[in-house]
Structure formats: C-alpha cells, structure tokens
A and B are shown apart, each in its own frame.
Chain A
C-alpha cells in the first residue's frame, strides 16, 4: 500500500521551476531515498511535504489524506516527522526538553489543566517521559539527556534530531541528509539505526542523502532527481547504473 503519493507536483519560485511535474509513491514499510546533484529539488520535496511551500500544481497525499488541505503543524498530526539539513533543534533547551516537544502531537491536556498541573497533566508527563526514554535508549543518548543543545557537538545534534522526530511516534520519517557532516563511524551507526527504525519500529523512511554507500546500504528504492524532475526510479543498483543518472553526475560521454 502506498503511504505517500506525489502526483504531478510542480513548484515554481518566480521563473525557477524547483520541482517539475514530479510523481512518485513511497510504499509502507520501505526505505525510500532521493538522490541528486545540489539544487535538484530534493529538500524542496521535503519542504513540500512539511507544507512550508504550496505547490503550483499537483497533489500530495499521505495515508489517504490530502496533505494540501492541512496547516504545516497538521502534517505532524497525521504522523509525519522530519529532520532538517541544517539542524533545527531548540538550542536553549535540554535534549530531554527537545524530545518532549516531539511528544507535542499527543498532548491531551489543555491550558488550565497544565497551569494547575492536575493529576492528568502529571500522568501525561510520565507517559511522555517513558516514550522519550525508550528513544534515548534506542539512540544511546543517555549521557546527553540533561545537556543543553547549544553545548553539544555536531554529530550528537544530528542524532538528537532523529530522536526528536522519533519521539513524535511517526508513521513516516523524513530524514534530510542524515549522514552529512558525520564521520565514517557515525555514518555506520546511522545506517544501522535507519535499518532498525524500519525493522523494529515499523516506520517508513524517506530520506535525502548524498552518501551513496549509505543509500545503497539501507534503501529499498531510490529516486534520482535533477533540475526538479525525475531521472530514474528503482533499486539502488538500477539507479546507479541508469544512463541518465550517470549523465547528470558525470556529464555526457563524448
């Protein structure tokens, strides 16, 4: 069953066509990667899903819902979580607080019960904390639990961002360049984590990544893009040997 459907989506910024008549489907339970040279429109695809941009034409559907009908904050309510290419954490909050913000979509209390901190608010906090601790265990973040984000090294921030996305308990996880700036070992860790996220947690993963080792290691299907349009779609091996992809990266053989 397809979880996310892009149908003939076009997005223009003035005269620039950032995404051009793009159609693809992400199946439930798979790891789907988007690759392409810089400026191909990969991150724009993510920002379209997050509703930061309105497409010029086409439709985006998630799990049977028309995403174009909801507010940006409504996307998370349906169960889509994401990370950002240039880490967007809450700098002046602890790791724990960051992850707890991820639980926001499960909030059942209201203004009054929170200001009075009623037993229901307390219970909710405990439940949230339990969920968050599972993720802290999963991603080995115990040592950083009470640390401020502003004092953490880059590699840890990258993991915290994944953790925060997982804390929302998503059905679909969007990872925008999860391995960019990471060392070889950190990338390997990330690879196993993505694998586990899919296998243990049953979360569908859609990622943008330049590291072909990581892409071919974890993804089931790959979409190659250039200049906002689809070049090729298939297994990692198929896409890597596709003539149009080779041409986009290396240029035409003369």
Chain B
C-alpha cells in the first residue's frame, strides 16, 4: 500500500501523483517509442493504427466524456481533417503547416456545427450529429472537384525536413510522427483538465443549472468543447488519411462514428486512459479474432472461411457486457483492481457502488 503525503498544493496541480507514477509513465513512453526496434512492420502498423484511434478517441472524449455531449458524427470531422490536410498538401503547403491547419479548420467547422447543436440535448444531439455524419458522405461525393468524389484521393508519404514519412516506405518514421502527435494531444488534454476550462466542461456535463449559477457560460463552454474536440479529431483524421493512403467518401462512414463512440464507452468515459484502452480494443480486436479463428479451425478441424459481421457482433457483445457490468469502462475496472491491491485486504465489494455512468443530460429543462 502506497500512501502519498501531501505537503504542497503543487502535488495536486502537477499531473503526476508522485515520482513513482511519473517513472512508470516515462518507462511506458520509452518502451512505446522503441517499438520500431521491438516489433515487425505488421505489428508496428497495427500499433500506429491504435495510436491514431486513441487520438480520435481523445477528441471525442473531450466532447462526450467530459462535456457530456453525445456525438455520433465524429467520422464527419475525421473526414474533414483528412481532406483538409490532403487538399492543403496538394496545394503545395508543407506538411508541418498543413497538418496543424487541418486541425484548426476542423475546429472551426466544429464551431459552426456547435451553434445549432447548442439547443439539443441527449438523444436529440446524438441524432443530429449522426445525420451530420451521413451528410458528410454525400457532401464528399457532391464536392467532387475538391474531394475527388467516389474515386477518392491518394496521398503517398509526406516530407518533413527532407525526411520521407510514409506508412509503407518508412513505417518507423510514420509511427514516431503519430506518437508525437498523441503525446502533444495528451499533454494538452491533461493541462486542460487541471485548468478552469476543463473543470467548466465537467461542470456543464454534471449540472448545467449550477454551472450557470457559478458563472460558467454554458453556450460558450459547449462551443469551445466542440471546437477542441473537432480539432483533435481533425488531426486524427489527417493521420488516418496518411495511414490509409487512399480514401474516399466511404472511408469515414457513419459506422466509424459509432465505432468511435463505442470505443470510448468501452475504454471508460471521462478519462484520458479510457481513450487509449478503448483504442487498444478497437485496434487489436480484428487481428485477435482472425488469429483465434485460425487457432479454433486448427483445433477443431473447421475451415477458416470469413464469417461476415463477426467482428461487429463480438464488438457489440463486448459493449453490452460493459454497459451492463462495468459502466465505467476498462479504466473503471482498472481503478477497482488497483484499489483492491492498494487496500488489500480491506477492499469492500460495494466501494464503487454509488458511482453511476455519465451522460446525464439536463435538468430544469
């Protein structure tokens, strides 16, 4: 059992609890950064994919996990960021400018969406954003001169200071690019959560009435949350475009939106860890299934014919299990396990009993 004695306010303001925790995270970071030497190209690609999904998850987490606004339309912002990035690069803008700009443009797009969305709560907001995601598909097809329509677009590698960064030619370079973006986004997110703005997001999520009474401008806060969420999602989209190489209107379908939301629910709403844990499930589940399918086939003499919809079926089952048994997601489960060890043998079964799931909508309205 580890007890942290607090003697200074900075101990609560610093992102890490104590030097032990900081060391653990630094070790994790070093191991992940060394992945190109530890993994072959296939698994490195998968890990890159997980990190990109984690960035997208962080984007949605700001809006859904911390501000309590459900969005089923974040694939639209992934698409926006992806196309913005590619179109800027095609226009001759260097990647190091095009990439940040793509996120900022997506953030601005998010604000224009937020303004009508401010009046909507709960299920209505979910429907509104889902419509947005479906709409984006058509917009990409209709705006063929800019987006390439159904034929889509292709983007090879990008150049950063003369280095070619490409998913296929230089997977290690691409991995580090994604890792750096993930680190910056995570650090920004941590800072946000320990500052007044992040707390006002939580305030709006938990009780709009009393947030207002505390001087938090609810409309402005929600708009800012949309902006930040969409900007981060836009960056993830730009990276997804680079990862996929070729993409068209179907790459960012409404299914991706739903998958993204399921991901953060499984990971654990309202925590940065949740985005990463959910991304690991989303990213590795298809591989895990195909590997285990081969194993099952070998063991029982069946064939390895692909079963359509298997991945989504299992994914759905996992989601249902989480909502029923662990509404706080994988991160919530981890907290319980950790508390069990920390308090051993004094952990009681009902310790977390009163904590209910997030996504409360509104009162007084």
| Complexed CA–CA distance, A147 and B358 (Å) | 17
Cβ B195 vs Cβ A77 within 8 A:
no
Judging by beta carbons under 8 Å apart, are A104 and B200 in contact?
yes
Proximity string of chain B (205-229) to chain A, C-beta cutoff 8 Å, 1 when within and 0 when not: 1110111111111100000100000
Bound-state Cα–Cα, A73 to B207, Å: 13
Asked whether any CB of chain B lies closer than 8 Å to the CB of A238, the reply is no
Given contacts A90-B202, A109-B195, A114-B192, contact A101 B270 (CB under 8 A): no
Q: Mark B269-283, 1 if CB is under 8 A from A, else 0.
A: 010000000000000
B245, chain A: closest CB distance, angstroms: 31
Chain B interface: which of A5-13, A124-132, A193-201?
A: A124-132
Residue pair B213, A100 in contact (C-beta under 8 Å): no
A251 partner residues in chain B, CB cutoff 8 A: none
Asked whether B199 lies within 8 Å of A100 as measured between CB atoms, the reply is yes
Q: Within the assembled complex, what's the spacing in Å between the Cα atoms of A104 and B195?
A: 10
Instruction: Determine whether the beta carbon of A73 is less than 8 Å from that of B13.
Output: no
Give the distance in Å from the alpha carbon of A72 to the alpha carbon of B216 in the complex.
9
Bound form: Cα–Cα A84–B363 in Å? 12
Chain B residues contacting A121 (CB-CB under 8 Å) are 191, 195
Contact partner, A101, options B9, B211, B360, Cβ 8 Å: B211
Which of A73, A90, A102 lies in contact with B217, CB distance below 8 A? A73
> Which of B12, B188, B207, B215 is A105 in contact with, Cβ under 8 Å?
B215
B364 closest partner in A (C-beta): A52
Establish whether residues A168 and B355, one from each chain, have CB atoms under 8 Å apart when the complex forms.
Answer: no
* B194 interfacial contact with A, CB 8 Å: yes
Partner of A76, one of B195, B213, B354: B213
Known: A52-B364, A129-B13, A168-B215. A88 touches B210 (CB 8 A): yes
What sequence of 0s and 1s flags, for each residue 146-171 of chain A, a beta carbon within 8 Å of any chain B beta carbon?
A: 00101100000000000010001000
Residue of A nearest to B221 (CB): A73
Scoring A residues 105 to 141 as 1 if CB is less than 8 Å from chain B, else 0, what string do you get? Answer: 1010101001111000110111011100100000000
B316 part of interface (Cβ distance < 8 Å): no
Residues in A with CB closer than 8 Å to B270 are 92
Query: Which chain B residue lies CB-closest to A96?
Result: B12
Whether A150 lies near B354 (C-beta < 8 A) is yes
Query: Please, how many angstroms separate the alpha-carbon atoms of A148 and B354 in the complex?
Result: 10
B20 to chain A minimum Cβ distance, whole angstroms, is 18
Max chain B C-beta neighbours (<10 A), residue from A84, A89, A91, A103: A91
Q: Which residues of A contact B356 (CB under 8 A)?
A: 91, 150
State whether A101 touches B203 (Cβ < 8 A): yes
A61 CB to nearest chain B CB (Å): 19
- Enumerate chain A residues within 8 angstroms of B10, measured Cβ to Cβ: 126
Contact between chains at B363 and A88 (CB < 8 Å)? yes
Residue A239 at the B interface, CB < 8 A?
no
Residues of B contacting A114 in the complex (Cβ-Cβ under 8 angstroms):
191-192, 195-198
Which residue of chain A is the closest to B207 with respect to CB atoms?
A: A88
- Asked if A101 and B199 sit within 8 Å, CB to CB, the answer is yes
Task: State whether B213 touches A82 (Cβ < 8 A).
Answer: yes
Docked Cα-Cα span, A105 to B214, in Å, equals 7
For the complex, is A97 an interface residue (Cβ under 8 Å from B)?
Answer: yes
Most buried by B among A105, A115, A126: A115
Residues of A within 8 A of B363 (CB): 88
B216, A73: Cβ atoms closer than 8 Å: yes
Q: Which of A52, A74, A92, A150 contacts B209 (CB 8 A)?
A: A52
Q: B206 contacts which chain A residues (CB < 8 A)?
A: 89-93
Q: How far is the CA of A89 from the CA of B213 in the complex (A)?
A: 11
**Which of A52, A92, A124, A126 contacts B202 (CB under 8 A)?**
A92
Using a CB-CB cutoff of 8 Å, which residues 149-205 of chain B contact chain A? 188, 191-192, 194-200, 202-203, 205
Is A81 among interface residues, defined by CB-CB distance under 8 A?
A: yes
B202 touches A151 (CB 8 A): no
Verify if A50 is at the interface (C-beta below 8 Å from B): yes
Cα distance A130–B12 in the bound complex, in angstroms: 12
Is B13 within 8 A of A50, CB to CB?
A: no
Contacts of A109 in B (CB 8 A): 195-196
Chain A residues with Cβ below 8 Å from B224 are: 111
Report how far A122 CA is from B216 CA in the complex, Å: 20
What chain B residues lie within 8 Å of A105 (beta carbons)? 214-215
Interface readout for B19-43 with A: 1 if CB under 8 Å, 0 if not? Answer: 0000000000000000000000000
- Interface residue A65 (Cβ < 8 Å from any Cβ of B): no
Q: How far is the CA of A73 from the CA of B192 in the complex (A)?
A: 21
Q: Smallest distance from the beta carbon of B5 to chain A beta carbons, Å?
A: 13
CB atoms of A130 and B9 under 8 A apart: yes
Task: Report yes or no: A84 in contact with B196, Cβ–Cβ below 8 A.
Answer: no
With a cutoff of 8 Å between Cβ atoms, the chain A residues found around residue B203 in the complex are 90, 93, 101, 104
Within 8 A of B (CB), among A1-23: none
Tell me the bound Cα distance from A6 to B214 in angstroms. Answer: 22
A75 to B206, CA, bound (A): 20
Residues on A with C-beta less than 8 A from B191 are 114-117, 121
Instruction: List 6 extra interface pairs beyond A104-B199, A126-B9, A128-B196, CB under 8 A.
Output: A73-B212, A90-B205, A90-B206, A91-B207, A101-B200, A104-B215
User: Considering the complex of A and B, which 5 residue pairs feature the smallest CB-CB distances, nearest first?
Assistant: A76-B215, A114-B195, A105-B215, A90-B206, A88-B210
What are some 27 contacts across the A-B interface (CB < 8 A)?
A: A52-B364, A71-B217, A73-B215, A74-B215, A76-B214, A81-B213, A81-B214, A84-B209, A90-B207, A91-B360, A92-B205, A100-B199, A103-B196, A104-B196, A104-B199, A104-B215, A104-B216, A109-B196, A114-B191, A115-B188, A122-B13, A124-B196, A125-B195, A126-B13, A129-B9, A150-B356, A151-B355
